[in-house]
């Protein structure tokens, strides 16, 4: 079996920064990154608060003088305020790309109706939407064209600002934006290029890789947005796997296998999977 790696492998800068600033005995609000193998290595020294318990923890626990880690996805300003007022020692690992989007919302929310394109359940969007109580979140739905038409029609504001989740699929974001332009009528539409270039680079590298292989293993967390975006872009047979134990038995049927990985997948995990494949 021939194995070819994607040109872009390993942590993105935002994830590298978040991992390098995770110190022992601190408390992290949610998983610091969406990668189980990395979390398993860290959880002896760091307490991770479960995703659906973060708000309760911030509102009800006593963490005065304790080091609290805000992960790369950021946090809502209201929860950050509570943490500060109760004496948490905040280590803010919010990715600079997401900080930039937070600031864009703050600076423009009085002038524009803010429309966020992304997954409302994803921590990045959960945090961003609280920077503007009036913002709308749009994700892919079957009737997207009608949905966008109705949003524009029912929106009293004359100016709309479109902002995408940093890890949103570029082709889909461009499509959404084109629909806003198509149905804008008299409204002014401002489109923000908020997609993370690291994510876009991985998507382009995957498209190049798939021309050279028969099947692709995408290594990353099942809960990682950018990993799942890679899978949805893949036109070859592909699987998302989190570790070597999840390598599908069918892989031996393919002569050339590609390896790609999400932005929160460490290089050592890709090496481990490549070495296992070489033995098949
Ligand atoms: S994928 Fe981009 S936005 Fe997300 S953490 Fe990495 S660098 Fe930041």
Q: Over the stretch 15-51, which tens digit does the pLDDT of each residue have?
A: 999 999 988 999 999 988 888 888 898 999 999 999 9
Containing structural domain, residue 186: 97-192
Per-residue 3-state assignment (H helix, E strand, C coil) for 225-252: HHHHHHHHHCCCEEEEECCHHHCCHHHH
* Whether residues 38 and 76 fall in one domain: yes
* Whether residues 83 and 124 fall in one domain: no
* Whether residues 124 and 203 fall in one domain: no
* Whether residues 22 and 105 fall in one domain: no
Residue where a domain stops, chosen among 150, 166, 192: 192
Nearest-angstrom CA–CA distance, 234 and 250? 18
13 within ligand 1 shell (Cβ under 6 A): yes
For the segment 74-93, what is each residue's pLDDT rounded down to a tens digit? 999 999 999 999 999 999 99
Chain centre to alpha carbon of residue 204: 17
261 within ligand 1 shell (Cβ under 6 A): no
Mean pLDDT of the chain: 94
8 within ligand 1 shell (Cβ under 6 A): no
- Whether 175 contacts 204, CB under 8 Å: no
For the segment 139-149, what is each residue's pLDDT rounded down to a tens digit? 877 789 999 99
224 within ligand 1 shell (Cβ under 6 A): no
- pLDDT above 90: residue 225: no
How much is the pLDDT for 38? 86
CATH number at residue 170: 3.40.1010.20
How much is the pLDDT for 224? 87
- Whether 104 contacts 85, CB under 8 Å: no
How much is the pLDDT for 145? 93
Looking at 50, 55, 81, 124, which residue is catalytic?
124
Residue where a domain stops, chosen among 77, 95, 113: 95
Rounded distance from Cα 12 to ligand 1 centre (Å): 6
What is the rounded average pLDDT of the residues 59-65? Answer: 95
Residue where a domain stops, chosen among 171, 192, 213: 192
Within the chain, strands assigned E span: 2-5, 27-29, 47-49, 67-70, 89-92, 113-117, 136-138, 159-164, 188-192, 215-219, 237-241, 256-261
Nearest-angstrom CA–CA distance, 31 and 38? 10
* Whether residues 66 and 113 fall in one domain: no
Residue from 17, 75, 98 whose mutation best tests the ligand 1 pocket (most atoms within 8 A of CB): 98
- The yes-or-no answer on residue 61 being catalytic is no
76 within ligand 1 shell (Cβ under 6 A): no
Please report, rounded to a whole number, the percentage of residues in the chain having pLDDT higher than 70.
100
How far from each other are the two terminal CA atoms of the chain, in whole angstroms?
Answer: 8
* Whether residues 149 and 214 fall in one domain: no
* Whether residues 151 and 89 fall in one domain: no
What is the rounded average pLDDT of the residues 181-188? Answer: 96
Please report, rounded to a whole number, the percentage of residues in the chain having pLDDT higher than 90.
87
* Whether residues 173 and 236 fall in one domain: no
Rounded distance from Cα 57 to ligand 1 centre (Å): 26
How much is the pLDDT for 35? 84
* Whether residues 184 and 111 fall in one domain: yes
* Whether residues 60 and 129 fall in one domain: no
* Whether residues 172 and 234 fall in one domain: no
* Whether residues 31 and 84 fall in one domain: yes
- Domain total for the chain? 3
């Amino acid at each position: 079996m021939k194995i070819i790696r994607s040109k872009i492998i390993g942590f993105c800068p935002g994830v590298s920064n978040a991992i390098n600033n995770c110190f022992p005995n601190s408390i992290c609000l949610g998983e610091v990154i969406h990668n189980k193998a990395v979390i398993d290595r860290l959880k002896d020294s760091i307490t991770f608060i479960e995703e659906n318990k973060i708000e309760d923890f911030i509102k009800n626990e006593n963490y005065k003088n304790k080091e609290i880690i805000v992960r790369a996805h950021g946090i809502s300003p209201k929860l950050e305020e509570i943490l500060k007022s109760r004496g948490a020692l905040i280590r803010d690992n919010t990715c600079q790309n997401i900080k930039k989007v937070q600031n864009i919302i703050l600076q423009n929310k009085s002038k524009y109706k803010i429309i966020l394109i992304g997954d409302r359940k994803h921590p990045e969007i959960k945090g961003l939407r609280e920077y503007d109580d009036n913002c709308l979140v749009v994700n892919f739905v079957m009737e997207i064209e009608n949905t966008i038409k109705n949003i524009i029609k029912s929106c009293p504001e004359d100016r709309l600002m479109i902002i995408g989740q940093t890890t949103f699929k570029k082709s889909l974001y461009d499509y959404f934006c084109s629909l806003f332009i198509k149905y804008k009528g008299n409204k002014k539409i401002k489109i923000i290029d908020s997609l993370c270039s690291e994510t876009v680079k991985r998507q382009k590298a995957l498209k190049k890789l798939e021309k050279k292989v028969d099947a692709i293993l995408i290594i990353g967390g099942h809960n990682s947005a950018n990993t799942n975006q890679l899978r949805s872009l893949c036109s070859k047979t592909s699987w998302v796997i989190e570790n070597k134990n999840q390598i599908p038995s069918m892989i031996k049927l393919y002569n050339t296998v590609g390896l790609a990985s999400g932005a929160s997948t460490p290089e050592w995990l890709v090496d481990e999977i490549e070495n296992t494949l070489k033995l098949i």
